[in-house]
Amino acid sequence: MWNPERCDLCGECLESCLYLGYDLERAKKEMQLLISGEHSEVLDRCITCSACNTYCYKGARPFDLIVHRMDEEGSQFKKGSATALLEVFCFNLARNFVRKTKKDAPWMSICCMEYFQPHLFWDSKLFEGLNIAGGGDYFCVNGMIHGRQDTAVFENMQGYIDQLNKLPTDEIILFHDECYAPFFSYAKDMKLETNFKPIHLLEWLIEVVKDNYKDVKKLGVRCAISLPCSVRASGPDRHIWIEELFDLLGVELVERKYDRKNQICCGAVAGLGGGASEDLAENQRFSQEIREKNVNDAKNFGADHMMFLCPFCYAALAYDNKAAGIMPVMAADLVRMSLYGEKPTEYVTALEKGWIV
C-alpha cells in the first residue's frame, strides 16, 4: 500500500524505471502529478512491472500509488486486454479441482497453472503423492494489477484467502510466485487471517532435493534467471533460495546486466497493452524490444538455460530463448531433471496463443 509519509519526492523511483526514460527532474515532476491526483504520463506508459517499489528504498511503494491512480482514472477500461485475458483464462478456461492423495501429504495450490501444462502435475514424479488444489477458485487475483486496477485485487483477496483456509493443512506450497507475494502485500495490508503458513515453491524444492540428495545428478548447466514482477512486489529475496537450490543441483547462476535490481520484464504485459500505446501493433513491437533485450543479455553472458518462476514469463520468452539456443525451464523442471531424469516441461507459449507476435 502507498505510504505517502515516506515519500520525499526525490524522484529516484521513476528515474530508475527501465521503460520511461525520465531524467531526475522529469521524474520528480511526474511523481508530484501522481501524488496530487492530476494526470501523469506514467499512467499511460507504465507497464506495471512493479520494480519502482524496489527502487524506493524508503518504503513508500510508488507502484502501489501508480496502480491505484490507474484504477481511479479507469485506464483498465481503455487498455483492458490484460484484464480480459486474466478473467477468461482464470475463471473460464482453467478448471477447478482438488486432488487428494494421502491425509498427511503436503498441500500445494497451483492457481490456474494446470492450463499451461496439463500433464505436468499428473505425470511427473516430483508431484506424485502431493495433495493439489487448482483453478479459478484458487486464483490469487494479484495479477489484476496488470489489468491496471487495484480495486479488483482488494475485493477478491478475502475470497482467495478463504478458499485456501478451507484446505485441511497448516502449510500450503504456492506453485506460482504471484500467489505467494500477496501474503506480504495486499493480504497483509488488509490484515487477513490465515490458518496456514504460505510456503514458496523454492523453499519446498530445496527440501525435496535435500531429502533425496543421494539421487541428485549435478546438471552442470549455466542458467540465467528471469524473475516475475511479483518478486518485486513483496516478500523475502528469492535470490537466496535460488542460489541454495542451484548449489544443490550443480547449476551455475549466470549473473548478467538485466538482473537483480536491474531485472528486465518478460514483455508479456507490454504486449497485451500494459503501456506505451493504445495501438496493439506498437505494444507488440515494444514487447519484442523488451524480450530481445532480455534474451540477448542472457546469451551475451553465456547462459545455456533460463529459469522462470512464472508460467506467463515462460510463455512470453520460451520461443525467443529457444531461437537463441537457450533452454527455457521452470524452477521445478531443474529438480525433475536432476532427481528423476525427466525432460524440461513444454509449457503453452504466448506465441502459440497469439498473445504476442
Summarize as ranges the residues that interact with ligand SF4 (CB under 6 A): 7-14, 17, 19-20, 31, 42, 46-52, 56, 58, 60, 62-63, 66
The residue with cell 523454492 is: 202
Instruction: State the nearest-atom distance from the C-beta of 338 to ligand SF4, in Å.
Output: 34
Instruction: State the nearest-atom distance from the C-beta of 251 to ligand SF4, in Å.
Output: 28
Cβ-based nearer residue to ligand SF4, 134 or 271: 271
Cβ-based nearer residue to ligand SF4, 182 or 198: 182
Cα separation of 302 and 128, whole Å?
Answer: 34
Cβ-based nearer residue to ligand SF4, 135 or 147: 147
Instruction: State the nearest-atom distance from the C-beta of 104 to ligand SF4, in Å.
Output: 42
| Residue 325 C-alpha from the chain's centroid | 24
Cβ-based nearer residue to ligand SF4, 125 or 257: 257
Cβ-based nearer residue to ligand SF4, 66 or 206: 66
Instruction: State the nearest-atom distance from the C-beta of 235 to ligand SF4, in Å.
Output: 17
Instruction: State the nearest-atom distance from the C-beta of 257 to ligand SF4, in Å.
Output: 17
Return the CA Rg of the chain.
Answer: 20
| Helix 280-300 × helix 311-323 angle, to 10° | 70
Instruction: State the nearest-atom distance from the C-beta of 239 to ligand SF4, in Å.
Output: 19
In one-letter notation, the amino acid at residue 168 is P
List alpha helices for the chain, DSSP H.
12-16, 24-36, 42-45, 51-55, 62-73, 75-78, 81-87, 120-123, 151-165, 177-180, 186-189, 201-211, 230-233, 238-249, 268-271, 280-300, 311-323, 331-340, 350-353
Question: Which residues, listed in sequence order, are joined to residue 191 by a DSSP beta bridge?
Answer: none
Cβ-based nearer residue to ligand SF4, 270 or 332: 270
Cβ 40 vs Cβ 20: under 8 Å = no
Helical (H) or strand (E) element with 198: strand 197-200
Joined grid coordinates for residue 255:
549473473
Cβ-based nearer residue to ligand SF4, 219 or 276: 276
The residue with cell 477500461 is: 77
Instruction: State the nearest-atom distance from the C-beta of 57 to ligand SF4, in Å.
Output: 7
Cβ-based nearer residue to ligand SF4, 51 or 310: 51
Instruction: State the nearest-atom distance from the C-beta of 266 to ligand SF4, in Å.
Output: 13
Joined grid coordinates for residue 151:
480495486
Alpha-carbon distance values, 303 to 70, 223, 246, 300, 345 (Å): 37, 5, 14, 8, 19
